[in-house]
Amino acid sequence: MENYDDKAYIRAKKRVDDVKGFYIHLVTYIIINFFLFIINLIFTPGTWWFLFPLIFWGIGLIFHFLGIFVFENKLLGKEWEEKKIKKYLEEEKNKK
């Protein structure tokens, strides 16, 4: 491997793992809800109960998407953590 900054590599690796996790979540959502639809269609065609897991799991999937692709590390992420750490270090330094 080339010479990458260790912290940058770790952040990039975590980002790749997060994106991969989202896509696994998305594929799982599609496959399982497809089978729930088929089960619903075969056994209880008059009652569309498969919509409940579809909708509520879909809401969770939307939040997962927003956390990975929209907000990334902006809200309580790495940048926020680093700012807070610097702030607290400055406060400790000023106390002495």
First to last CA, the chain: 43
Question: Is the whole-model pTM more than 0.85?
Answer: no
Helix (H) or strand (E) holding 37: helix 6-43
**What is the Cα Rg of the chain in Å?**
21
DSSP state of 72: T
Residue range 4-29, pLDDT digits in tens: 678 788 888 988 999 999 999 999 99
Contact 67, 21 (CB under 8 A): no
Residue range 73-92, pLDDT digits in tens: 666 666 777 777 888 888 88
Full residue range of the structural domain in which residue 15 is found? 4-95
Tokens of 30: 């599609």
The rounded mean pLDDT for the chain is 87
Number of domains the chain contains: 1
